[in-house]
A and B are shown apart, each in its own frame.
Chain A
């Protein structure tokens, strides 16, 4: 995923002479662009502010902010300043911010917060968690066409979520023999697919992994829910507000079964600083499986 992002940046640096790539340690990626790859001081608010300024003055900009949790230091820019740019969106150049998201084993508590639920509620900013490399280009193109800033949440390699496969398989036993639709975060698609194929218990399975967390494709989900008897919503890290909303919509459509689950192993949960929601969900899963 990181390579796909860097490929996109590299291509845009070649195509667009005013394009910049700024952030922390970005020069280590080895992209050469005549001084347009700028290592920035560890000053999140100023760095994102600089990115907004570049965009408003017509220069496309990519920002690598490392961890999603660091975005909290730049909250004013995300909440108040980016939105103002939309007043004259047509004259602003694309602004793309990449961050690693979610809790991950071994990370310090201040590096593991998952605030995508908050980010997804920011007005007018597209927040995407691409499932596949190609999705990065899709997300970028859509955001550019519609003049929206884009936050790409990445769950690269060792920093991706650690899922307990056995627990996942247990979850998959629910609703055997029925048609099943699974709605999950893109980052969890692989493990969910593994669990499903290991069970081989359903008549048919559809996995829905939304490219964009916002705007949420609720209507698509509801249509899927009508088609399939059983829908499973696989939770990501907390806060899970968006998934709660989806669950509410599906309940209202009188489904036979709607379940929400968290796929996080206990080690990962222990390493997160905000794990109340996850603990609650895991308890529910265990109760149901037992």
Chain B
């Protein structure tokens, strides 16, 4: 039996500050640009990436994301300014960037903008990852548990004992439609239908999520699922945000210093000046 670990609250607040600083600089650059309609802030979604990357080393897995993934990239050790360069399509090293951050790290196999499309790809990658003693972390939103391909993929993952951790960031909104109005079973019920071990937690109780993540990531064989209830801060896309995330700089659950530092660094990149 593994011992419980204490939730590292200070590290978490620092991480949230970093995400806030990045998202604030991004908002200033993108909210009135066409790109803003297709860029999605991670604010409010920081807990799952923080907890999962605490227990799974970035290089020990292959990672598959949906379109709300800035916090995941930062949690995996990608510098916010690097993401900013990517989004603004500036050079990273000697290379121009590719779409959807696929070239940022070798272990990122997907950043998918089509809801649930990343799920079967992640299952296939898990079959290959097993050959080399790795597994896949597949991140999806609650809306991705609705399309048929989600169920098809769960079926295959269980049949083939694919080593995969499904992480559902459950913000109860499919774009802006309340999840309860468009899905009959709960997310947990969907995983249970296929016999996939599932644990849940609420981001209002970080210790609970941290502990659930610890337990779940200890399962190394076959698929497992972690459902993290969270609240999206702001709109579906950056363009629809009414005010800058900077208004939250005095929020007690963000590290203010870290937010200001990251914001300043990223602003330089977004403004196109040399930093």
Please, how many angstroms separate the alpha-carbon atoms of A9 and B119 in the complex? 26
B195 CB, nearest partner CB in chain A, Å: 15
Asked if B127 and A41 sit within 8 Å, CB to CB, the answer is no
- B144-178 to A contact mask, C-beta < 8 Å, 1/0: 00001100110110011000000000000000000
A53 interfacial contact with B, CB 8 Å: yes
- Quick check: A50 and B121 within 8 Å, CB to CB? yes
Instruction: Please tell me if the beta carbons of B124 and A53 are within 8 angstroms of each other in the complex.
Output: yes
Residue of A nearest to B102 (CB): A87
Q: Are A58 and B128 in contact, with the CB atoms below 8 A? A: yes
- Interface membership of chain A positions 49-72, coded 1 if the CB is closer than 8 angstroms to chain B and 0 otherwise: 111111111110100000000000
Do residues A49 and B121 form an inter-chain contact, with CB atoms below 8 A?
yes
- Inside 8 A of B199's CB, which chain A residues have their CB? none
Known: A43-B156, A53-B127. A76 touches B99 (CB 8 A): no
Taking CB atoms, residues of chain A closer than 8 Å to B98 are: 87-88
Closest to A91 in B: B106
The interface centre, meaning the residue of B106, B114, B124, B155 with most chain A CB atoms within 10 A of its CB, is B124
B interface footprint on A37-54 (CB within 8 Å = 1, 0 otherwise) = 010110101111111111
Asked if B109 is at the interface (CB within 8 A of a chain A CB), the reply is yes
A43 contacts B152, C-beta separation under 8 Å? yes
Q: Are B131 and A53 in contact (CB under 8 A)?
A: no
With A54-B124, A54-B128, A56-B121 as known contacts, state yes or no: A87 contacts B103, CB within 8 Å.
yes
B158 to chain A, nearest CB (A): 11
Q: Which residue of A lies closest to B113 (CB)?
A: A80
User: What number of residue pairs across chains A and B have CB atoms under 8 A from each other?
Assistant: 108
Complex contact B109–A57 (CB within 8 A): yes
Whether A77 is near chain B, meaning CB under 8 Å from some CB there, is: yes
Per the bound structure, the CA–CA distance linking A265 and B44 in Å amounts to: 63
A4 at the interface (CB under 8 A from B): no
Q: Are A53 and B102 in contact (CB under 8 A)?
A: no
The answer to whether B62 and A57 have CB atoms under 8 Å apart is: yes
For chain A residues 82-112, which have a beta carbon within 8 Å of chain B? 84, 87-88, 91
- A53 near B156 with CB under 8 A, answer no
- Cα distance A171–B110 when bound, in Å? 52
In the complex, residue of chain A having the shortest beta-carbon distance to the beta carbon of B150? A46
Report the minimum CB–CB distance from A34 to chain B (whole Å).
11
* B contact patch SS: helix
Q: How far is the CA of A161 from the CA of B57 in the complex (A)?
A: 54
Set of chain B residues within 8 Å of A88, measured between Cβ atoms: 98, 102-103
Give chain B residues whose Cβ lies under 8 Å from the Cβ of A48. 120
Partner among B99, B106, B127 whose Cβ is within 8 Å of the Cβ of A84: B99
Of A55, A58, A76, the residue contacting B117 (CB under 8 A) is A76
A53 CA to B103 CA in the complex, in Å?
16
B139 contacts A by Cβ under 8 Å: no
A14 to chain B, nearest CB (A): 16
Interface contact B155-A50, CB-CB below 8 Å: no
Beta-carbon contact of B155 and A80 below 8 Å: no
B103 touches A45 (CB 8 A): no
Decide: A53 near B126, CB < 8 A? Known: A46-B149, A84-B99, A84-B102.
yes
A88 to B100, CA, bound (A): 12
- Minimum C-beta distance from A62 to chain B (A): 13
In the assembled complex, the Cα of A162 lies from the Cα of B148 at a distance in Å of: 37
Interface set of A (CB-CB < 8 Å, partner B) = 17-18, 20, 38, 40-41, 43, 45-59, 61, 76-77, 80-81, 84, 87-88, 91
Since A52-B124, A56-B125, A77-B117 are in contact, a sample of 6 more A-B pairs with Cβ atoms closer than 8 Å, ordered by chain A residue number, is A50-B124, A53-B124, A53-B128, A53-B136, A84-B100, A91-B106
The 5 closest A-B pairs by CB, nearest first: A53-B124, A49-B120, A46-B152, A50-B124, A57-B128
A-B contacts, 26 listed (Cβ < 8 Å)? A20-B127, A43-B152, A45-B148, A45-B152, A46-B153, A49-B121, A50-B127, A50-B153, A52-B124, A53-B122, A53-B124, A53-B126, A53-B128, A56-B121, A56-B125, A57-B125, A57-B128, A57-B129, A57-B136, A76-B117, A81-B112, A84-B100, A84-B112, A87-B99, A87-B100, A88-B102
- Could you list which residues of chain B lie within 8 angstroms of chain A, going by C-beta atoms? 62, 98-100, 102-103, 106, 109-110, 112, 114, 117, 119-129, 131, 136, 148-149, 152-153, 155-156, 159-160
